[in-house]
Structure 1
Amino acid sequence: MKQAAWADTAADLQRHFDTVVIAQWLSRGFDARIGLPHEALDQSGEPMPDARYRAMACARQLYVYARLTGEQAKAHAARLFDALLRYFHDERRHAWVFSVDAQGQVLDAAQDLYSHAFVVLACATYFARSRDARALQHMLSTARLVEERFGDGDGLYHAALCANGTPVKGPEQNPIMHLTEAYQAAALVAEPIWFAQTLRRIAEGVAQRFLDPQTQCIAELPLGTADNRIEPGHQFEWYSLLHSMPQVYEGLNLPAAVPRGCVWARARGVAPDTEGVCAALDMNAGMRDGSQRIWAQAEYARYLALTGDRPALGRQLARFKERFLHARGWREVLGADGALQRADMPSTTPYHLMTAYAALRA
C-alpha cells in the first residue's frame, strides 16, 4: 500500500473513532439513570440490558475520555471519575469492589488485580488531564494497596483476592501486564524512581516465571501450569509497553526476548489472507482458539506502527477496517471464517482502539 493510501486508511479509522465510537459512548452508551457507562451496546448501537456494572469498565472509559481534548470530553471524564469513586471505592476496606448491580449496590466485593490496575491507570491519566488531587491520592493509595495485599511473596502478584483479602488466584500474565501499564502511567505523574524500580522487578519476575524459552513468548499462566497457552495479541501489547519506556528496562531479559516472541506469534498466529490475529495458540504452536478479537487486531496494528513495518501495517489496517468496523460501531469477535461470533460492543473496547490509533498518529 502506498503511503498516501496508508495515511488515508488511518485517517478513516480516526474519523470513525471520533464520530461513531466516542460519540455513542457519550450518548446512548452512558446510562444517565445511574451515571455509569452501559456495559455493552448491540450492533445497532442501542444499550443492552445491564445485569452489572464493573469497576474496570468504568475505569477504562475514564481513561479514554481523560485522554481526549475538548470541554465535552473533560466534563465526561469528571463525571466518570466521580462515578468510579461513588460506586466502586470501598472506603471501609480501602479497596475497589469488582462490580455493582443495576441499582448501584455492591454485587461482587471480590478484589481482582485487573480492576485495581485499571483504577491506577485511569487515576494517573485523569490527574494528568485535570490536576484533581483526589485522582493522585487514589492512584498512590491503590498502588500501595496492590503492593501490600496482592503480592505473592516472590516478586509478582496474585490475580484475585476474595472479599476478606484471602488470595484465590495465583499470578496470571494479563493483570500483571496491565499493572505494568498502570505503573508506567503513574511514573509520569508521581514517584518516578519508585515506580521505575518496581517496573524492573515486575519485568524480571515475568521473564523468570512466564517467558517460554522455546518461543520467547509470554505465556498466560506460569510456565509448567497445565493447559497453558500463548495469546499473540498479548505479545504485541507487551512490545508496546516495553517500547514506551526503554530507559526503565535497559539491560533486562524481557525487552530482549519480547521482539523475538512477536516474530514467532506473527508467523503462527496471524492469518496471511485476512491479517487476522487468532485468540490463542497452545505451547507447541497448535491452534488453541482460532477466533479473532478486535482488541488483538488493535494491538497488532500498534505493534506494526511502532516497528515501522508500513507495508504490513497498510495491509492490516485495510483488512481491519473492512472486517471489524461498520457504520454503527464494530464487530467484537469474528470466527476464523469471518462470521460474527459476538453481537455486543463492550464499553471496554474503545480503550484498545484509542491506544492503537495513538500509535498510528505518532
Structure 2
Amino acid sequence: MVDPSTASAREAGDIVAQLKSFVIERSLPLWSGEGWDRTTGGFVDRLDQDGHADRQAPRRTFVQARQIYCFAKAAQMGWYPDGKEIALKGLDHLLGKARAPDGRPGFVHRLGADGAVLDARRDTYDHAFVLLALATVYSLDRDAQVRSEIDAVLSFVDTKLRSPHGGFAEGVPATLPRRQNPQMHLFEAMIALFDATHDLAFQQRAGEFFGLFMASLYDKQRQALGEYFEEDWSRIEPVVVEPGHQAEWAWLLKGFERITGCPTGRPRGELLATALRYQDAATGCLVDVGDTAGNITHSTRRLWPQTEIAKAWIAQAESGEEGAADRARDALARLERHYLRHPVAGGWYDQFDREGTSLVATIPASSFYHVLCAVTEAEQVIG
C-alpha cells in the first residue's frame, strides 16, 4: 500500500514538469484551435463544458489581451513554435476591432462576436492588460510599430485616466468605488514594460504604483490589502480582503524589487501570511473573500487565487526563503488536482462551492493567463 504522504510528495515534486506539459501539449493547442474564431477573428471568451467554442458570447477586451500575452509568453519561453504568429494575429484583431472603433481614443470594453461595439466604456483594467500584451509581444523582436502602440496607450492612460487623487480612475467615465485591482495590473504592466524595453522610465512608473500601494492601498496595521476605496483612497469599511490579491501583490512586489533593488521583503511576508489565513479546510485552497479579522466571508474558491499563492511562494523561493519552493510545489499540486483535471484536455474548472461542486459550467478563457503565468514562473525559478 502506498503511503499517502509519499504519494503527495511525489506529486508535488513532479508538478512543474507536469504543468509545463499540460500547458504545451493541451492548453496552447486548445486555445489556438477551438479558442480562435476562424470566421470573424479574435479569441473566443469561453468554451462550453464539452470544449466547444461559445462563438456567440461577447468578447471582452481584457480577455483578448490576456490571450495575446499567453501566446507571446509561450513563444518567449520557447514552448510553442506558433506562439508568436498567433499572438500577432490576436494583436492585429484587437487593434483593428477594439481600438477607437467609435472615433474616440482608447479601447472599448466589450465587443459582440460580429465585432460590433457592445460597451464603449474605456476601462482602466482593460488598458492594463493591453499594455501587458504589447510588452510581451515587444519582447519577442522589439518591433518599432509595437513600441509605437505602447506609447499611444500610455498617452491615453496618462491624459484620460489619471486621477488628481493619485493613481488612475476606474475608466472613462470615472466611477466609484475605486478598486485596487486596476492599479495592481498597471503595476504589473510597468514591470513587464521595463523587462521588455529596459527603459528606465518604466522603473519610475512602477515606483509610482509602489508608492500608492504603501501609502494608500496597504493597511500596515492590519497587514492587509483592501479592495475598495473612496475617490481620495480612504478605505471603505468593512474592508474586503481577497486572499488571491494579497498573494498576487506579494509576487509583484518581488518583481519590483528585481527591477529596482528596492527591498520589499517585509510587505511580501505580511501579505503572504495574510493570504494564508483564508484557506479551505478540506482542500487547503484559498477561498475567494474574507474580512480583516481573518474570517471567511465567501467560502467559494476560484481557480485564480491558487495560481497566485503559488506565485507568491515562488517569489519567496527566489528570495531564498527556506521551504518556499516546496510550498510553491504544494500549491501547484493543489491547482492541478482540484482545477485542471477537467474532461476537456487543456481546460479547467473555474470555481467551486464549499462542498466541492463546480459553480461555472463553461471554461473561461480569462483563466489561461493565470495558469500560464504561474507555470512559467515555476519553470524559471523552481523548475
Global fold match (TM > 0.5): yes
**1:289 maps to 2:298:** yes
**1:195 maps to 2:202:** yes
Q: Distance in 1 between matches of 2:168 and 2:60?
A: 21
After superposition, the C-alpha distances for 1:211-261 in whole angstroms (9 at most, x for unaligned) are 123331211113431443011111111111111231555557x66323212
Which position in structure 2 is the counterpart of 1:31? 37
Q: Distance in 1 between matches of 2:166 and 2:259?
A: 17
**1:144 maps to 2:162:** no
Which position in structure 2 is the counterpart of 1:127? 138
Which position in structure 1 is the counterpart of 2:312? 303
1:1-362 map, 5 Å: 5-69=11-75, 70-90=80-100, 92-162=103-173, 167-169=174-176, 171-190=178-197, 192-222=199-229, 223-246=234-257, 248=259, 250=261, 256-266=266-276, 268-308=277-317, 309-326=324-341, 327-328=343-344, 329-362=347-380
Q: Which amino acid aligns with 2:51?
A: G
Note the C-alpha offset of 1:313: 3.1
| Contact 1:43 1:330 survives alignment (8 Å) | no
Note the C-alpha offset of 1:189: 3.3
| Contact 1:215 1:264 survives alignment (8 Å) | no
Q: Which amino acid aligns with 2:356?
A: G
After superposition, the C-alpha distances for 1:276-327 in whole angstroms (9 at most, x for unaligned) are 1111112322212111111110111122223232343343333322211124
Q: Which amino acid aligns with 1:310?
A: A
Segments ≥4 residues shifted beyond 6 Å: none
Note the C-alpha offset of 1:145: 1.4
Q: SS at 1:107's partner residue?
A: strand
Q: Distance in 2 between matches of 1:131 and 1:231?
A: 36
Q: Distance in 1 between matches of 2:52 and 2:287?
A: 28
Aligned residues: 356
Q: Which amino acid aligns with 2:240?
A: R
Q: SS at 1:37's partner residue?
A: coil
Q: Distance in 2 between matches of 1:207 and 1:345?
A: 36
| Contact 1:160 1:169 survives alignment (8 Å) | no
When residues 345 and 208 of structure 1 are mapped into structure 2, their CA distance, relative to the original with a 3 A threshold, is same
Structure 2 unmatched ranges of 5 or more: 318-323
After superposition, the C-alpha distances for 1:161-183 in whole angstroms (9 at most, x for unaligned) are 13xxxx22453111110000111
| Contact 1:301 1:316 survives alignment (8 Å) | yes
| Contact 1:199 1:248 survives alignment (8 Å) | no
| Contact 1:120 1:182 survives alignment (8 Å) | yes
Q: Distance in 1 between matches of 2:330 and 2:198?
A: 41
Note the C-alpha offset of 1:48: 2.2
Q: Which amino acid aligns with 2:308?
A: E
TM, length-normalised to structure 1:
0.92
Note the C-alpha offset of 1:272: 4.5
Q: SS at 1:337's partner residue?
A: coil
Note the C-alpha offset of 1:354: 1.0
Q: Distance in 2 between matches of 1:177 and 1:221?
A: 13
Q: Which amino acid aligns with 2:131?
A: V
Q: Distance in 2 between matches of 1:251 and 1:245?
A: 7
When residues 47 and 113 of structure 1 are mapped into structure 2, their CA distance, relative to the original with a 3 A threshold, is same
Q: Which amino acid aligns with 1:57?
A: V
Identity %: 26
Note the C-alpha offset of 1:361: 0.9
When residues 354 and 50 of structure 1 are mapped into structure 2, their CA distance, relative to the original with a 3 A threshold, is same
When residues 320 and 189 of structure 1 are mapped into structure 2, their CA distance, relative to the original with a 3 A threshold, is closer
| Contact 2:100 2:106 survives alignment (8 Å) | yes
TM, length-normalised to structure 2:
0.87
Q: Which amino acid aligns with 2:74?
A: L
| Contact 2:128 2:182 survives alignment (8 Å) | yes
Q: SS at 2:328's partner residue?
A: helix
| Contact 2:180 2:217 survives alignment (8 Å) | yes
Q: Which amino acid aligns with 1:298?
A: T
Q: Which amino acid aligns with 1:275?
A: G
When residues 331 and 142 of structure 1 are mapped into structure 2, their CA distance, relative to the original with a 3 A threshold, is same
Q: SS at 2:159's partner residue?
A: helix
Q: Which amino acid aligns with 2:31?
A: W
Structure 1 unmatched ranges of 5 or more: none
Q: Which amino acid aligns with 1:305?
A: I
Q: Distance in 1 between matches of 2:60 and 2:244?
A: 23
